Structure 1
Amino acid sequence: MTTTATTAAAAKEQADAIAARVRPPRFPDRDFPVTGYGAVGDGTTDCRAALKAAIEECAAAGGGHVTVPPGTYATGAVRLRSGVDLHLEAGATLAFSRDPAAYLPPVRTRFQGVEMYGYAPLIYAHGERDIAVTGAGVLDGRADETHWWPWSGQEEFGWRPGMPQQEDDWPRLWQQAEDGVPVEERVHAAGRHFRPNFLETYACRKVLIEGVTFVRSPMWVMHPVLCENVLVQNVTVDSIGPNNDGCDPESCRDVVIRGCTFNAGDDCIAIKSGREADGRRVNVPSENILIEDCEMRHRYGAITLGSDMTGGIRNVFARRCRIGGPGLYFGLYIKTNSVRGGFAENIQLDDITVTHLTKEFVTCDFYRGEGDTGGYPPRVSDIGIRDVSVARARRALLAQGYPHAPIRGLTMAGCTFGEMAEADQVRNVEGLTWNGAR
């Protein structure tokens, strides 16, 4: 099998085409201030009913802006409707309840790549179009070492032996997926310990997330699933909790992540497409994703593919990004093996500046985790790394495929690597090309 490498000119053309296709939704020039529906920004008054009434009336009127003026508004789950822009003015904060009951009834969601009915994400939409969360305000999930985070099972985040954790419940959900149990029968909310994601748009079209700041998320921060035309721009994620990925497009098409700053508790951007049996059942890849002009500061992968990538990932472009910090591990991190399977093809990084990583700039190790114990060897091909400057890292490259399923087509062109602590590790890679200085 041979792999044709994508050229720099072709990569730019494809990235520009994604940028041109992904356009923000437009909203009628109508405002629905939440204070007009009884919301009070005193930090204690429960504003759930007011937010819901404003959103429903805005949607019924044909769309517009549900505005949140300065103040702190206590709320539970917020559900978006088509045509609605939830707009937080400067000085406005939505402070979300720590009570799990505030995120019932259960909704269709994904937990670590497996579909189920679980606690509602703090902000949620399903099957909607032309929706947005915008403004200069703050979305505060209020998670900490006493609420939500201990369910991770990590002592660093408040869990102690004998306390409940998500790993107690995970085997049942995973087995249901393996057995093909209908999603409607996989109900794991009250009494279970799967943390909700912060903002999740499920099967939506034309989504905009712009300008807002996310803090203290229970789990993943932004999670578009099965969506098309998603624009995330000028967003700040400052949430160093367990599994606090910054943005996780999953089984999505045509996504632009632009001008964002990620100070995350896990991967900054993690592209996904479902996990194992459930990923093969749904079988929708993530494709046509552009990441540009972003800053990734903390913690695991700056740009990660997987590990829930059974449905495959293709056509990912990153350019003009700044990466690095004392707590950031990897630059490009591709996570899969023969248990997860899937594919990653046409992954192109251009004009990336890296200050400091604790591990490799590029890592793709099929033996990570379960090793070679499954029946679904992954396919990874056409990885292009161009005009990258890395000041300090453990290695430039760790690439290890299987003898029976090698990594195919890895190009490093015009890259400079400064202080590298260890030599590169490369095994079972076909078509590794170094062009330019190291």
Structure 2
Amino acid sequence: MGDWSRADAIVARVARPRFPDREFPVTAFGARGDGRTDCTAALRLAVAACAAAGGGHVTVPSGTYATGPVHLLSHVDLHLEEGARLLFDRDPAAYLPPVLTRFQGVEMYGYSPFVYARGQRNIAVTGRGMLDGHADDEHWWPWSGQAEFGWRPGIRQQEDDWPALWRQAEAGVPVERRIHADGCRFRPNFLEFQGCHGVLVEGVTIVRSPMWEIHPALCTGVLIQDVTIDSPGPNNDGIDPESCRDVVIRRCDIAAGDDCIAIKSGREADGRRVNVPSENIVIEDCVLRHRYGAITLGSDMTGGIRDVYVRRCRIGGPGLYFGLYIKTNSVRGGYAENIQLADLTVTHLRKEFLSCDFHRGEGDTGSYPPRVRDIGIRDVTVDHARRAVLARGYAHAPIDGLHLSDCHFGSLEESDRIEHVDGLVQERVTGTHGG
């Protein structure tokens, strides 16, 4: 079940970028780690000098450095030494002028992500320091529209601005005319890499993000390892590769405010326009703790997802909902093919280990029936979940090929719910339920 030699081949070719042995301390460019001095210009100068010299390491010594956005250039490693913290400005105006980004799978020009690169090669964020987005119930998070995170009636929020962006995408308005920044309530992602080759994020701790933490889009050769994410805010997905190829995520510890790792490929009309899948992705040896899907495909997956391998991960906690969560329907469309999971240890899930329900959200109201096939799950132990499997395809577009083997479910509250699934195979699957 599943050709795991392909996973090994992906790991072998996603190489760690190499950088010249040159250091550019930000303190040499005027930065002060006192938590008050604005170090935005010093960081920009250090990155530019490093790139002009042919690359190297922009080093951030121990201390707290107040800053606005950091834009990386080719062959630059932003290295945070132990005890270093980049503390990002809470003023949205600091993240202007707008840059090319994506919001919920739709391309636009919006507030700059806090750490950003576009069209660069061999870039990195490394070290044992901290990236602190400084978001809370009074800054950034209330824009989500969720009372849990500080929104109150009368506060402008993202759903007030979303219809205009969605209409532009549906009408095919050129991306450069989709400007939604100053005055809009689309929160920026924390680390975002647009159209880059050779991306490394290693060792750092990420806290208090406005929205998604690590978001490579249209990238190739992405390595994310030994990263700790602890950011419980709204839509605070941990790691979201979108329309990327050759991605390895390993030894990361994630407690997120939304999905821990969410693989995406664009949304609806814009996803069909860009039409680039996410493919060749390996997730291994991670700890995924909180909140919705541990491993999620979608819901922005119109461009398709294929060849995903997940192995040797520890999943679960009292606040985690799903193990594998596949989110699509006939409005979003797209496909998920050859998704393989093995050697997983799962403690506590509030809902299903595997959830793939085409009827969630908009139901069957669109013209783009999704394709989900060749899902393999083996050597999985789940201590507790609501169900082992919730799988509901459409009668006209069933889920095709769901294979579970050598899986043990210790305590289940309800029986599986399976509708319109062709090619269901269960071998040596054990468990109990109270349904």
> Which string of whole-angstrom CA distances, capped at 9 and with x for unpartnered residues, describes residues 318-360 of structure 1?
0000000000000000000000000000000000000000000
In the alignment, which residue of structure 2 is the partner of 1:183?
175
| Alignment equivalent of 2:218, drawn from 215, 223, 226 | 226
Q: Does 1:116 align with 2:108?
A: yes
Partner letter of residue 231 of structure 1? L
Name the CA distance, whole Å, in 1 between partners of 2:170 and 2:247: 30
Name the CA distance, whole Å, in 1 between partners of 2:183 and 2:203: 35
Partner letter of residue 66 of structure 1? V
In the alignment, which residue of structure 1 is the partner of 2:53?
61
In the alignment, which residue of structure 2 is the partner of 1:4?
none
In the alignment, which residue of structure 1 is the partner of 2:156?
164
Q: Does 1:415 align with 2:392?
A: no
Partner letter of residue 321 of structure 2? Y
What is the DSSP-based 3-state SS (H/G/I as helix, E as strand, rest coil) of the residue aligned with 2:239? Answer: coil
CA contact 2:85–2:132 (8 Å) conserved in 1: yes
What is the DSSP-based 3-state SS (H/G/I as helix, E as strand, rest coil) of the residue aligned with 1:368? Answer: coil
Q: Does 1:313 align with 2:326?
A: no
State the 1:312 CA deviation. 0.2
Name the CA distance, whole Å, in 2 between partners of 1:252 and 1:282: 12
| Alignment equivalent of 1:137, drawn from 129, 134, 137 | 129
Partner letter of residue 349 of structure 2? L
What is the DSSP-based 3-state SS (H/G/I as helix, E as strand, rest coil) of the residue aligned with 2:324? Answer: strand
Name the CA distance, whole Å, in 2 between partners of 1:252 and 1:394: 33
> Which string of whole-angstrom CA distances, capped at 9 and with x for unpartnered residues, describes residues 255-310 of structure 1?
00000000000000000000000000000000000000000000000000000000
State the 1:24 CA deviation. 1.0
Name the CA distance, whole Å, in 2 between partners of 1:320 and 1:102: 41
State the 1:241 CA deviation. 0.2
What is the DSSP-based 3-state SS (H/G/I as helix, E as strand, rest coil) of the residue aligned with 1:53? Answer: helix
Partner letter of residue 14 of structure 1? R
State the 1:26 CA deviation. 0.5
CA contact 2:354–2:390 (8 Å) conserved in 1: yes
Name the CA distance, whole Å, in 2 between partners of 1:72 and 1:101: 21
Name the CA distance, whole Å, in 2 between partners of 1:406 and 1:49: 55
Name the CA distance, whole Å, in 2 between partners of 1:395 and 1:262: 23
Q: Does 1:246 align with 2:241?
A: no
In the alignment, which residue of structure 2 is the partner of 1:264?
256
Q: Does 1:15 align with 2:7?
A: yes
Q: What do you get for the CA RMSD once the two structures are aligned?
A: 0.4
Name the CA distance, whole Å, in 2 between partners of 1:156 and 1:333: 23
Map 1:34-433; keep pairs closer than 5 Å: 34-433=26-425
CA contact 2:56–2:77 (8 Å) conserved in 1: yes
What is the DSSP-based 3-state SS (H/G/I as helix, E as strand, rest coil) of the residue aligned with 2:183? Answer: coil
Partner letter of residue 205 of structure 2? T
State the 1:437 CA deviation. 3.2
CA contact 2:33–2:63 (8 Å) conserved in 1: yes
State the 1:142 CA deviation. 0.2
In the alignment, which residue of structure 2 is the partner of 1:3?
none
What is the DSSP-based 3-state SS (H/G/I as helix, E as strand, rest coil) of the residue aligned with 1:51? Answer: helix
> Which string of whole-angstrom CA distances, capped at 9 and with x for unpartnered residues, describes residues 389-427 of structure 1?
000000000000000000000000000001000000000
CA contact 2:144–2:158 (8 Å) conserved in 1: yes
Name the CA distance, whole Å, in 2 between partners of 1:263 and 1:345: 27
Partner letter of residue 386 of structure 1? R
Name the CA distance, whole Å, in 1 between partners of 2:127 and 2:429: 43
Partner letter of residue 77 of structure 1? P
What is the DSSP-based 3-state SS (H/G/I as helix, E as strand, rest coil) of the residue aligned with 2:116? Answer: strand
Instruction: Give the paired residue count.
Output: 430
State the 1:240 CA deviation. 0.2
**Runs of 4+ off more than 2 Å:** none
State the TM-score, normalizing by the size of structure 1. Answer: 0.98
Name the CA distance, whole Å, in 2 between partners of 1:203 and 1:392: 40
Q: Which runs of 5+ in 1 are unaligned?
A: 1-6
In the alignment, which residue of structure 1 is the partner of 2:433?
none
Partner letter of residue 110 of structure 1? R
Name the CA distance, whole Å, in 2 between partners of 1:156 and 1:30: 46
Name the CA distance, whole Å, in 2 between partners of 1:93 and 1:192: 28
Name the CA distance, whole Å, in 2 between partners of 1:209 and 1:290: 15
